[in-house]
Amino acid sequence: MRTKRSAPARDDAISTTMKAASVAAAIAGWAVGMYTGAILLWPLVATAAVWAAGKVLFGETKQAVLPSFCIQAGHLVWFVVGMVLAGQYLSPALFDATWLAIGLVWLWTKPGKAALCFLGVYQLLSLPYDVLQFSQSSWGTAENKALLVHILWHALAVFYMAWLYYRITKPPSDSDSYV
């Protein structure tokens, strides 16, 4: 007989919560994809390509770094492709691309708190700036759509860096391997 506090009851509640969150995320993802259109594809495809390469290039001990690395590397690829396609090599995006490139090389070669903090400074400065620019741009314009995708990638980067920071700082258990 199940009680409110039995383990199977908690598992059912978590499962229901996860299903509801998954449906909400799918609907939100669909809505963002419908609004942004092809603009979303550049960082999405770049992030997926880096993920596939990272599964091979990152050793077993560095797999925990992969989500944080891939999100930001996909964003970096988007910056570089945008600069090349626009022919604006000395645009303000060069600063973003340079900061991300340095931070990602650092995160790849020596994963740790310092590399995460370096990348975190960039993400936490860029996120509010992009939110401000988004709020001031006209709805439905290419600029507005691109800024929405930038905001999503910043938010994902902050989430995965916080998760990695937690993994690095928590006391290790026998089954943990992160860097």
Expressed as residue numbers, the domain containing 97 is 37-169
Tokens of 88: 């604006």
Closest by CA position to 101, among listed 93, 91, 113: 93
Which amino acid, one-letter code, is at 66? L
Q: Is residue 8 part of a domain?
A: no
Q: Is residue 30 part of a domain?
A: no
* C-alpha to C-alpha distance for 78 and 62, rounded to whole angstroms: 24
CB 62 within 8 A of CB 111: yes
Q: Is residue 14 part of a domain?
A: no
Q: Is residue 58 part of a domain?
A: yes
Q: Is residue 31 part of a domain?
A: no
Q: Is residue 64 part of a domain?
A: yes
* C-alpha to C-alpha distance for 61 and 132, rounded to whole angstroms: 39
* C-alpha to C-alpha distance for 163 and 115, rounded to whole angstroms: 14
Q: Is residue 149 part of a domain?
A: yes
Closest by CA position to 154, among listed 96, 94, 110: 96
The one-digit pLDDT tens for each residue of the chain (179 residues) are: 455 555 555 556 568 888 888 899 899 989 998 999 999 999 999 999 999 999 988 888 888 999 999 999 999 999 999 899 888 888 888 999 999 999 999 999 999 999 999 999 999 999 999 999 999 999 999 999 999 999 999 999 999 999 999 998 888 765 555 55
The total domain count for the chain is 1
Q: Is residue 18 part of a domain?
A: no
DSSP per-residue codes, 58-123? S-GGGGGGHHHHHHHHHHHHHHHHHHHHHT-TTSTHHHHHHHHHHHHHHHHHS-SHHHHHHHHHHH
Helix (H/G/I), strand (E/B), else coil: 175 = coil
Q: State the pTM of this model.
A: 0.82
CB 47 within 8 A of CB 81: no
Tokens of 131: 């939110």
Q: What is the pLDDT of residue 86?
A: 84
* C-alpha to C-alpha distance for 170 and 166, rounded to whole angstroms: 6
